[in-house]
Amino acid sequence: MSFSSPTLTTDQRAQVDQLATSVDREQAIWLSGYFAGVASGGAAPANVSAGNGAAQASAVAAAAAPTTRTLTVLYGTDTGNSREVAGQLAEAAKGIGVEANVADMADYKPRQLKDEQDLLVVTATHGEGDPPPAAVGFFEFLAGRKAPKLPDLRFSVLALGDSTYEHYCSAGKQVDERLEQLGGTRLADRVDCDVDYEDDAEAWVADLIAKLTPTEGPVVGQPAASPNGVAASANGVAAGASAHSKKHPFAAPILDNVVITGRGSSKETRHIEVSLEDSGLTYEPGDALGVVPQNDPELVGALIEQLSLSADTPVPTKQGEIPLGEALTRTFEITAATPRFLEHWAELSGAKELAELKAADAKTRTAFFYDHHVGDFVRRFPVAGLSAEQFVAGLRPLQPRLYSIASSLTAAPDEAHLTVSTVQYALHGLDRTGVASGHLATLTDEDATVPVYVQANEHFRLPADDVPIIMVGAGTGVAPYRAFMQEREARGAEGRSWLFFGERNFRSDFLYQVEWQQLLKDGVLTKLDLAFSRDQRTPKTYVQHRLKKQSAEVYAWLEDGARIYVCGDANAMAPDVHRTLAEIVAEHGGLDAEAAEEYLSGLKRDHRYLLDVY
């Protein structure tokens, strides 16, 4: 054999050559294991002899190999961001030769926790500090008495949230604190991320990959990690693919954009159809369409004027320098104020009230943010001589908004339909509109387009065609049910379906009235119960009241295997519906309150009680 060995002396090389010519194949294998053990700080076991051949060589090699630990990446998702980061982490781990088990909290068996060794958790926070609806079961187990002690566990948590909420990243904080209480040891400190989470998440992944990297380097045959620790395919799209995604949305032409609330309605609700032709985008009923909005040009102009700046002044962004006017229109959030902006503006303005607000509790700050947008800060606490770059330094990126898709691809090929309520209100004497809903309301020209992508929602899917479904929704929460019915009609599904729909007034707010009545007539929709809260002064009637009125039959459907879906307002409607369901189960199941709650928890664990609330 001829090879270069610059680290061996002449005498060492001569000894190796002499040894190599005096051993047979099995002895050579044994020696390779022996020297591998020496290289990693070990030595050959005393009871192993060269005469035992290849089997003992394998034993020595195994003893010399580094101890491996199992790795699980667990995610709790609301909009899909946690799932995306978990996938990136798993890909990066694969790049260093570590195979990760990736699991959704909704499907994970919590009793497996006692067997975990390295656990990396990515979780969103829903609403005012709650876990994602599909992950509630996991959180309840973790917080309860049945949670196991975890003295051998190493863990780290990435918490996703929105800093405009009082209980920022609360779900991630709960997991982090509880895993420590159960005896776990942190691999890395928890990282709390705002809505612009990407950079912080990437740094967290890179930090953990560095800590998990085997000293021997990547396993042969596995893809190597990129320099920042994240595998090249970490975004879930194969290299060279041109699929549209959140980072690369599709400019979808607007096919139709009409108001579907009637004359005299107290709100404006629109039915919007966009074309997905040639986009390669597909979706299933229950999925959402991500819409990349723009800020209101009038709001942008007023803000620039208030700041005494020029719209043409270049400012730095992640995409490079662009004019201030364009940046405030397409790149930065200029409505909702955040703790980051508070810190920034307090320093620039020197305002005593803002300095005091910084030190106040989260509830007080959240209440102030609710009543003060970015422009309100600028007007109330002016800063003289401010540069454009200084101003945008306190802003966070403008984020896409998600809307439940109100159509089925089977019924409407190459299209996605949305049901959008235009947010309109007054604040400090000024008319305000929602960023995305207000923008969508203006897209009525024939050549109008909007950047979109599909966000899968695995926790809000139709069951098999023969399974009965109960659909509960108020206002635009009816959108996914329109998709459900279109899909079931197209497939000729025989499963029973029951819709509970609520809005303000029958004459002006019965969304898709003609369609529901036709579906009912054709037998695609089995039952329809309606609640219009403002058609009578008192008492107001909501969907939960219709559920209670039909309680015996609702319970019978549940006992017959029905899935129940709830879509809409998370703050009032969804909790009210849950309480009503618990009352129904207690009454007709002969259960006490605790047992009724366990019944509903069981439905959630079995993916038969599904929520899409916001």
Note whether 49 and 79 are within 8 A (CB). no
Measure Cα distances from 560 to 548, 555, 604 in Å.
18, 8, 16
CB of 591 closer than 8 Å to CB of 599: yes
For the residues 42-59, what does the mean pLDDT come to?
41
Q: Report the DSSP beta bridge partners of residue 73.
A: 102, 120
Residue with tokens 């909704």: 106
Bridge partners (DSSP) listed for residue 126? 130
Phi/psi at 472 (5° precision): -120, 120
Percent of the chain with pLDDT over 90: 80
Q: What is the pLDDT of residues 472-505, one digit of tens each?
A: 999 999 999 999 999 999 999 999 999 999 999 9
* pLDDT the model gives residue 325: 98
Among 30-44, 89-103, 540-554, 582-596, the least confident range? 30-44
- 441 contacts: CB under 8 Å, gap ≥ 6: 257, 268, 270, 420, 422, 433
Residue 21, pLDDT score: 67
Give the start-end residues of each E strand in 276-345: 288-291, 314-317, 320-323
> What pLDDT does residue 68 have?
74
What CA–CA distance (Å, rounded) separates 103 from 106? 8
Task: Report the amino acid identity of residue 314.
Answer: P
**43-52, 194-203, 539-548, range with the lowest pLDDT:** 43-52
Alpha helix positions (H), 446-592: 479-491, 506-509, 513-522, 543-549, 551-559, 573-589
The two structure tokens encoding residue 92: 């990066």
3-state SS class at 41? coil
> What number of residues does the chain have?
614
pLDDT at 14: 65
> Please, which residues bridge with residue 259 across strands?
270
CA–CA gap between residue 80 and residue 551 (Å, rounded): 34
- Whether the pLDDT of residue 434 is over 60: the answer is yes
Across 456-465, average pLDDT: 96
In the three-class reduction of DSSP (H, G, I as helix; E, B as strand; rest coil), residue 598 is classed as helix
pLDDT greater than 60 at residue 40: no
- Give the DSSP H/E element, type plus range, for residue 142: helix 136-143
In order of start, what are the domains of the chain with their CATH numbers? 10-64 (no CATH), 71-212 (3.40.50.360), 250-293+400-455 (2.40.30.10), 297-392 (1.20.990.10), 469-613 (3.40.50.80)
What percent of the chain clears pLDDT 70, i.e. is strictly above it?
Answer: 85
Mean pLDDT of the chain: 88
- pLDDT band of 319, cuts 50, 70, 90: confident
Give the other-Cβ count within 10 Å of 38's Cβ. 12
Output the CA torsion 86→87→89→90 (10° steps): 120
Q: Is the per-residue pLDDT at 233 higher than 50?
A: no
Q: Tens digit of pLDDT for each residue in 339-369?
A: 999 999 999 999 999 999 999 998 999 999 9
Q: For 97-139, where are the E strands, in sequence order? A: 100-104, 118-124
For the chain, count helices (H), then strands (E): 22, 21
Read off the tokens for 606. 């079995």
Higher pLDDT, 22 or 316: 316
Q: Which has the closest alpha carbon to 107: 403, 461, 470, 454? A: 461
- β-pairing, 563-568 vs 100-104, is unpaired
Asked if residue 257 lies in contact with residue 444, where contact means CB atoms within 8 angstroms, the answer is yes
Kindly tell me the sign of the dihedral angle through the C-alpha atoms of 85, 89, 90, 94.
Answer: positive
What is the identity of the amino acid at 360?
A
The reported pLDDT for the residue numbered 232 is: 32
DSSP designation for 463: -
Q: At 27, is the pLDDT very low, low, confident or very high (cuts 50, 70, 90)? A: low
pLDDT at 7: 57
Bridge partners, residue 499, by sequence: 471, 528
The 10 Å CB-count burial string (b at 16+, else e) for 462-490 is: bbeeebbbbbbbbbbbbbbbbbbbbbbbe
What is the pLDDT, as a whole number, of residue 10? 63
CB atoms within 10 A of CB 388: 22
Tell me the mean pLDDT in the region 539-557: 97
Q: Which residue has the tokens 């207690």?
A: 586
Of 229-238, 495-504, 536-545, give the lowest mean pLDDT range: 229-238
| pLDDT tens column, 248-294 | 999 999 999 999 999 999 999 999 999 999 999 999 999 999 999 99
Percentage helix, strand, coil, to 5, in the chain?
40, 20, 40
Ordered DSSP codes for 253-276: EEEEEEE-S-TT-SS-EEEEEEE-
Cβ burial of 277 (10 Å; 0-12, 13-18, 19+) is middle
3-state secondary structure of 238: coil
Q: Among positive and negative, which fits the CA dihedral 205, 207, 211, 213?
A: positive
* The token pair that represents 503 in the structure block: 């809005």
Mean pLDDT of 407-411: 97
Structure tokens of 476?
């635009």
